Amino acid sequence: MRFLKIFSLLVVVSAVLYLVCFASGGSVYEDVVRLHVIANSDSEADQNIKLSVRDMVIEKYSAELSKYTDRDEALAAAETMLGDIESDVNAYLADKSDYTCTVTIEDSYFPTKTYGEYSLPRGNYTALCIRLGKAEGQNFWCVLFPPLCLGASSADDKELFADCGLTDDEYNLMRTQKPVYKLKFHLLELFAGK
């Protein structure tokens, strides 16, 4: 019975440590707008179209969104551009495929992703989502605001992110890898004979 109480306490402590060490990622989730382009299929042609659409959207709209100082302003601007983006992508697709696209803004789960020296933790982010045709192929994602889709490699990148509303903690979260914690319980190792 005593072992059960100790084990239960260790489980609770582990859960609390997990929440403190891993689940807290700052509010970076609420300060960026991702770009998510989903290909019609995994065929080479559809994957090439996906990348071309990505390049076109980044070239045409990223600079416009980078003018804003916080995510809410950039998101509001992106919402007003949805029709234009969809029209531009559909015009581009007209002579390259037999399908069209839909463009939405939605919350989506993204795995941890590294962009050069930057890394964004996994989690739910707001994204400008472009679905090409059946949207059954591999997808592409990057950060539309602040403009990490362009490589984010300028010498004054910290200033760029500050101008876009990211705090020093969020910037540091993106620039550094979180330490990996390995929890060991000596008491349990003794019981297991290790």
Structurally, the chain folds into a number of domains equal to: 2
Could you list the residue range(s) of the whole structural domain that residue 18 is in? 2-24+182-192
Count Cβ neighbours within 10 Å for each residue of 147-174 and write b for 16 or more, e otherwise.
Answer: bbbbebeeeebeebbbebbbeeebbebb
pLDDT(46) > 90: yes
Mean pLDDT of all residues belonging to the chain: 75
106 and 15 share a domain?
no
144 and 73 share a domain?
yes
The model's pLDDT over 88-137, given as tens digits with 9 standing for 90+, comes to: 999 999 999 999 999 999 998 888 877 667 677 888 999 999 999 999 99
11 and 91 share a domain?
no
Claim: this prediction has a pTM higher than 0.85: no
103 and 18 share a domain?
no
Q: What is the rounded CA–CA span in Å between residue 6 and residue 4? A: 5
116 and 52 share a domain?
yes
13 and 72 share a domain?
no
95 and 168 share a domain?
yes
Residue 76: per-residue pLDDT: 93
For residue 10, what pLDDT band results from cuts at 50, 70 and 90? very low
